[in-house]
Amino acid sequence: MKQDLKELIYLREEEAMNLELSLNMVKTMKRYWNEFKDYCNNKNISYYDINKLHLYLKDKYNCLLTNNITSLSKKQKEAIKAMLLLVNINNISEYKVITYKDINLSNYYKDVLNNYLDFWRNVKNNSETTIIDKKRYTILFFDYLTKNNIDNLAKLNKKIILKYLDYVKDDILSRKIAIYWNLKSIFLYLNDSNILKNYFNLLIPITKRYKQKKLHTYFSKEDSDAIVNAIKVEVNNNPCGYRNYAMILMIARLGIRKIDVINLKWENINWQNNTITFIQSKTKKINTLPLPNDVGEAIIDYIKLERPIKIRGNDDYIFIRSYYPLTKISENYSFNEIIKRALIECNIPLDKYKQKGTHSFRHTIATELINEQVPVKIIASILGHNNVNSTKTYLEVNKQSLSLCFIGEDYE
């Protein structure tokens, strides 16, 4: 029996989520699966056919569907792995991706790394999310140096850096830009710290970090409410249904960033005054918001009906994992698949919204407020922005309404 290609890919995405694979690995697989789907659509193919899978790899990457991938490029390896997992995702154990967490650096590079991260954490006051990104790309760079017999930064030279730049040139654009910026950061730090006097930062290509013209997705008010209600209906059909509903409701009603909801502790909620006060991970600024009754009730339902009474270790965090060890949820935890299922339940076409993550709720709130002609200064306060210019980026979705808003004096 023929299997619809779109349904097959959706099924694989569901299975990938149930296997609790890393977010990066799921994103990589989905990217190639969707590319394969587009390839088939262009050829008017709607059903899965392994022969078309062979043609896709041959046409797009000049390679074959094989388990022998040692001599291929990084993109060829990724494409083949993704296609093999599309055929049978139960083979996932054969294609375990080595991440930066699996790399064991020498004591010398560990010391340099720790000092570098402490600088950005304590001197530059970067968020932990930013620190994790710097850690990831620095470990990968140091590991590359080690494999090329550069066991000390004093041995670093122009040739090996250019070789590394050539090594990462075929990476996806967003990650390549992050790699470039982190390299510049490392070399400037080494120079300022007198660890290594160098000009190596000049070798790194100049790239633009962000494209402000690209506007983010926001849900319509009706769709936002429908998505939240669909997730509420399913609370009893998921081992962490009450938790997910409470977290998504908080994001949808208050516009709090996902990472700040994950990091919420008992001390952040004032039940007597019905407020939530927390330090934002991104800006390091304190934000206080009202606690709506439905959000408070959702949290209480989670505590009473689902959250384990006794957990080992730190019990400060409100929302914890649904499986052992019962600790705080990973900051990389994604609600995308939950929101996608809710869209399907509401009969909302999946292609209506390009992005289907929790941040779209944040854009929805910003759009609602600007449509109601709320002053930008107040919207910035609700969203927890340091500067009104950050808020105006969100509000580009409705320039006509934005022109009617009173900005007043600069918001700092």
Residue of 95, 129, 88, 91 whose CA lies nearest to 25: 95
pLDDT value at residue 237? 87
| 3 state DSSP class of 276 | strand
Q: Taking the domains of the chain in order of start, what are their residue ranges?
A: 5-97, 101-203, 221-359
Based on the residue annotation, tell me whether 282 is a catalytic residue of this protein.
Answer: yes
Q: Average pLDDT for residues 283-306, to the nearest whole number? A: 93
Q: Which residue is catalytic, options 27, 60, 175, 359? A: 359
Based on the residue annotation, tell me whether 385 is a catalytic residue of this protein.
Answer: yes
User: Of the given ranges (17-31, 225-239, 268-282), which has the lowest mean pLDDT?
Assistant: 17-31
Based on the residue annotation, tell me whether 394 is a catalytic residue of this protein.
Answer: yes
Collect contacts of 163-167 with beta carbons under 8 A, ≥24 apart.
Answer: 165/203, 165/204, 165/205
In angstroms, the CA 364 to CA 255 distance is 8
Q: Which residue is catalytic, options 30, 75, 77, 282? A: 282
Count CA atoms closer than 13 A to 112's CA, side-chain side. 22
Q: Which residue is catalytic, options 135, 257, 321, 340? A: 257
- The tens digit of pLDDT for each residue in 318-345 reads 999 887 778 888 887 889 889 988 999 9
Structure tokens at 273: 């005054």
Looking at residue 70, its amino acid is T
Based on the residue annotation, tell me whether 310 is a catalytic residue of this protein.
Answer: no
Q: Which residue is catalytic, options 253, 307, 356, 385? A: 385
Assign domain 101-203 one CATH number from 1.20.1530, 2.60.40, 1.10.150, 3.90.320: 1.10.150
pLDDT band at 70 (very low <50, low <70, confident <90, very high): low
Q: Which residue is catalytic, options 232, 362, 363, 392? A: 362
pTM: 0.58
Highest CATH level, class, for 221-359: mainly alpha
Q: Average pLDDT for residues 192-218, to the nearest whole number? A: 76
Based on the residue annotation, tell me whether 341 is a catalytic residue of this protein.
Answer: no
Evaluate whether 101-203 and 221-359 have a shared fold: no
Structure tokens at 158: 């122009």
